[in-house]
Structure 1
């Protein structure tokens, strides 16, 4: 553990960033304290039979803010789960939702287990019992609190949560909206799996297209040719690396918990992932140089560094050695406050987690809306749009006497289906959020970094919501 981590808990780090930004807002101290505080913390201990023994499981659900309902946030399975971490992640969810204009309050959940130590049957028992405990206290429901996947969980766990909820609340017409990140066959939305990594790509791509910002760090606009390092080859890191590679960037280093690989010519993330599945590790990937320590990859020269693993991986101990010109926080809290200050003084552009990794909650919002509307995106308009596009194309061909190629014909005629609309909505959300945050910086001579600007943006939106509710006389 670094000295930085000893000085600040994760929640204290979030509060420190909040306080830094709060001085640039108009809100009274009491309102700021209400915005900052966690509204409800539910700590649970329940028994589950594991093999021949009874094990007492520790779990949490934190609802940070009720300025908008339902609350929204993932559930993680990790033996590192504790109350402070869940509170910090819940508060980040509040600010994240505000920045990307998703009308939820922030929440987070966690079960203190290492899922690798349990069979699927045992994990199902734990997940179902946890869900039942949430139902008991009204900490889950489509209009109350809507969980989602996080570290150590996925579609499987969300389907267990849904089934348990529906068995305890039979006949609830909008019950499928009690959880997001579900399999498509159970009311999930297409595009959810890659949403966070794709959102990271959309946000950083838009930043890289802004000439003034690129000039500030000595780079040309655009993605093509830029060198990228990604820490974490889980769902988020893999998809971020994949989209950068496909856009023409060079992914020169990939970092995992058990090692890191480097190649100045770049990697194809799909090939690395295939190798990892076959061998259990990215280490010794053909043509790659293995680094002595996996954390050495964070300190290599590159244009864009994307930490997509766990929190506090860049701290005051290694921040002075980081050579990246842009850091995109795909994970939650990968930089500690002191690391933030060190890198800002060096002129590094830090794109903060609270907006950059909001792709997951954005697409979860789309899934929730789908569950409430009871209709798949694109179902009503897809065929109409295709027929209209074909008609317009035929008219133009008749007027010009020219024919388009079959490939172009298929492209132009295509009507948007669910995944097209989800990608479009996500891209618009990330672009709009980036420019909202930048506008705060441009409008204030006192706000010099994107994290502070993002907090100012979030605090103003949450404060306005509380004001409109009439909570404060």
Structure 2
């Protein structure tokens, strides 16, 4: 199945370029995030929209199709939010009929909400959804819930990372039973940091993490709580607070950290044909979307490296959104987290059981199990 729609946007005041890709629609509705960084491409946006379609299928029930948006611009630039606003305004005709664009890499969800509010919008919904009083009530409750605090994080900033951790734990138990492994996490934003926190709680040792400034390693275990407490809004750790035992190295050496579980939780295609052979871990859990290339998958097959694919591991935010707004899930933060844990663990078990039964690699099995079953037109 090909994407339903692809639109390109060119900013009138900067050299920013952006795209929206709608892969499929369910009852005229789709949702996904807007990412912003200097290397975004049209192809990347289409691949991300495709992943979103499979992620919605993995979430259940089928209340949304998958879409994604990307803006090629530096999200740290002083005028980044102005660029984002112009992009959202340009996409408003689609947003008003049910293309729900929220936050992603470089674009906080709170920022998209603020821009929507400026133009008299809340969460984008179809015409039918806007006439449903229960959905409107659930939507406002959901936005309030996201700001509630969970173990030092807002719910919004931990639902995906916690889900990745639960998927990693489930896969590791399937492979190794009760013995806990050593973990390296590439990327220390909301997903990476909250994932690290939860894995420590589950008994794992985080031997290394990386951010945009480099890698920090300690094979005896990093103090994750301290690293989180001293990082900035861009996920960058304060090097002045590192312990003497910590070893630092440039980002180019991130795969030199020996570990059992590798969690890429930042950009796409970070594991590829040029570096997949360096992976020492026996399990890769994709906290980031499209973190591994097809060529890397072939290397992993030969090496016997198992993979929990992105749309199985990192569906926490999508599951929460649809369970609260369109489902009957209790309006309680712990209920949301319990629901995500159940889905992530259940889907991970299903993935590995299918691989065992049919002799398939995890990526192949995941695309077969969770293939989207619905593609509807816009509601007019």
State which of 18, 38, 44 in structure 2 corresponds to 1:79: 38
Structure 2 residue aligned with 1:346: 303
State which of 39, 43, 47 in structure 1 corresponds to 2:4: 39
Structure 2 residue aligned with 1:205: 169
Q: Measure, in 1, the Cα distance between the counterparts of 2:365 and 2:229.
A: 39
Please tell me whether residue 456 in structure 1 is matched to residue 363 in structure 2: no
The CA deviation at 1:273 is 2.3
Structure 1 residues 299 and 343, CA, compared in 2 at 3 Å: closer, same or farther?
farther
After superposition, give the CA deviation of every residue in 1:419-438 in whole Å (9 maximum; x if it has no partner): 11101111111122123323
Q: Measure, in 2, the Cα distance between the counterparts of 1:271 and 1:151.
A: 23
Q: Measure, in 2, the Cα distance between the counterparts of 1:258 and 1:450.
A: 32
Structure 1 residue aligned with 2:350: 436
Q: Measure, in 2, the Cα distance between the counterparts of 1:105 and 1:42.
A: 17
After superposition, give the CA deviation of every residue in 1:64-102 in whole Å (9 maximum; x if it has no partner): 112554111111121222211111100111111112324
Matches within 5 A, 1:289-368: 289-368=246-325
SS at match of 1:276: coil
Greater Cα shift, 184-193 or 349-358 = 184-193
SS at match of 2:249: coil
Greater Cα shift, 427-436 or 183-192 = 183-192
Structure 1 residues 367 and 132, CA, compared in 2 at 3 Å: closer, same or farther?
farther
Q: Measure, in 2, the Cα distance between the counterparts of 1:110 and 1:176.
A: 31
State which of 197, 212, 217 in structure 2 corresponds to 1:242: 197
Q: Measure, in 1, the Cα distance between the counterparts of 2:22 and 2:336.
A: 27
The CA deviation at 1:117 is 1.2
State which of 88, 91, 98 in structure 2 corresponds to 1:144: 98
Q: Which has the larger radius of gyration?
A: 1
After superposition, give the CA deviation of every residue in 1:186-245 in whole Å (9 maximum; x if it has no partner): 6757523211101101111122222xxx2xxxxx413x6421111111010001111111
Contact map agreement 2:264 2:286 (CA 8 A) in 1: yes
After superposition, give the CA deviation of every residue in 1:387-439 in whole Å (9 maximum; x if it has no partner): xxxxxxxxxxxxxxxxxxxxxxxxxxxxxxx1111011111111221233234
Greater helix content = 1
Structure 1 residues 176 and 165, CA, compared in 2 at 3 Å: closer, same or farther?
farther
SS at match of 1:315: coil
TM-score (norm 1): 0.69
Structure 1 residues 359 and 40, CA, compared in 2 at 3 Å: closer, same or farther?
same
TM-score (norm 2): 0.85
Q: Measure, in 1, the Cα distance between the counterparts of 2:324 and 2:59.
A: 16
Contact map agreement 1:261 1:283 (CA 8 A) in 2: no
Q: Measure, in 2, the Cα distance between the counterparts of 1:167 and 1:318.
A: 44
Task: List runs of 5+ in structure 2 lacking aligned partners.
Answer: 149-154
Q: Measure, in 1, the Cα distance between the counterparts of 2:297 and 2:71.
A: 29
State which of 5, 10, 14 in structure 2 corresponds to 1:55: 14
After superposition, give the CA deviation of every residue in 1:112-141 in whole Å (9 maximum; x if it has no partner): 22121125xx61x433332222222xx214
Please tell me whether residue 157 in structure 1 is matched to residue 111 in structure 2: yes
State which of 246, 249, 256 in structure 1 corresponds to 2:211: 256
Contact map agreement 2:142 2:324 (CA 8 A) in 1: no
The CA deviation at 1:269 is 1.4
RMSD: 3.2
> Aligned pair count?
362
Structure 1 residues 359 and 62, CA, compared in 2 at 3 Å: closer, same or farther?
same
